Structure 1
Amino acid sequence: MSIQAETFDFGVPWESLYGYSQALRVGDTVYISGQLSHDKDGAFVGAGDFALQTSTTFANLDLVLEHFGASRRQVVETTVLVRNLREHFDTLAPLHAQYFGEHRPTSTVTGVSDLALPEQLIEVGAVVRLDLDA
């Protein structure tokens, strides 16, 4: 028996340019590509404002979760990439904790020298288990 894969895309230009999907569901697991701060038309949001970029990035993560009928409580892992991590960690930590509330997924936070877009300061990827109680 083979498992079917389901993809999700926002329709932003870089999906076809880079050749990837925002998320891929395989069975009860959803692998979410690194989300970033953009609006529904793909325009970057929050240049120079780390807190706004983080909030918008989490809002985009919510849109992916919603597509698959998932909740934040079903996120089992996040991967967070941050430019200038030492400068932004004290802003990031409470925003990440607030986003998940009582739920505490595993998380890897890594400082990076650069991200895909010149203004981009944060990117958040996730793994979701749909078979967990929401």
Structure 2
Amino acid sequence: MPWESHFGFSQALQAGETLYISGQLSHDEAGAFVGADDFELQVRTTFANLDKVLRQFGASRDQVVETTALIVDLRRNFEVLARLHAEYFAEHRPTSTVMGVVALVLPEQLVEIGAVVRLDLEA
């Protein structure tokens, strides 16, 4: 994404058999934000972007061991996030931390989700 070099970070970094994935957000292939004022669409697009990063490393959702979600207006949006998180991971149950925040980087951004992945787990 264009903002990686601007802010000096990577979408993901592999250290041994552990993959650290930066907070993903709701954007298209060109980096344009998707889903203003639509929390569910933002979460679904964020998880789709997480899938893209996983694929780049030959990893799958079943290898995710931890997620961290930052949410604007936590009380209003938590139940939607919880439902979509459970849907995304199905029977797999990674650890998860959810934090309410006042704002995220983009003015319309309501959610950001990062992950830690163990590549040595069976996919």
Normalising by the smaller structure, the TM-score range is over 0.9
The runs of at least 4 consecutive aligned structure 1 residues that moved more than 6 Å come to none
Partner residue of 1:63 out of 52, 56, 59: 52
Matching residue of 2:77:
88
Q: 2:105 aligns with which of 95, 105, 116?
A: 116
Distance 1:35 1:46 in 2: 14
Partner Cα separation in structure 1 for residue 103 and residue 87 of structure 2: 26
- 1:39 counterpart residue number: 28
Give the aligned length: 123
How far apart, CA to CA, are the structure 1 residues paired with 2:95 and 2:81? 15
Structure 2: which 5+ residue stretches go unaligned?
A: none
| RMSD of aligned alpha carbons | 0.5
Task: Measure, in 1, the Cα distance between the counterparts of 2:64 and 2:82.
Answer: 17
Indicate which of 18, 24, 43 corresponds to 2:7.
18
| In the alignment, structure 1 residue 54 sits paired with structure 2 residue 43 | yes
The answer for the alignment partner of 1:104 in structure 2 is: 93
Shift of 1:14: 1.2
Partner amino acid for 1:22? Answer: Q
Higher relative contact order (CA 8 A, sep 6+): 2
SS in 1 for 2:108: coil
> With structure 1 as the length reference, what TM-score do the two structures score?
0.91
Normalising by structure 2, we get a TM-score of 0.99
**How many Å separate the matches in 2 of 1:30 and 1:113?**
28
Give the match's secondary structure for 1:99.
Answer: helix
For the residues of structure 1 that align with 2:11 and 2:30, how far apart are their CA atoms? 15
The one-letter code of the counterpart of 2:110 is L
Deviations 1:62-86 (A, max 9, x none): 0000000001000000000000000
Aligned-residue identity in percent = 71
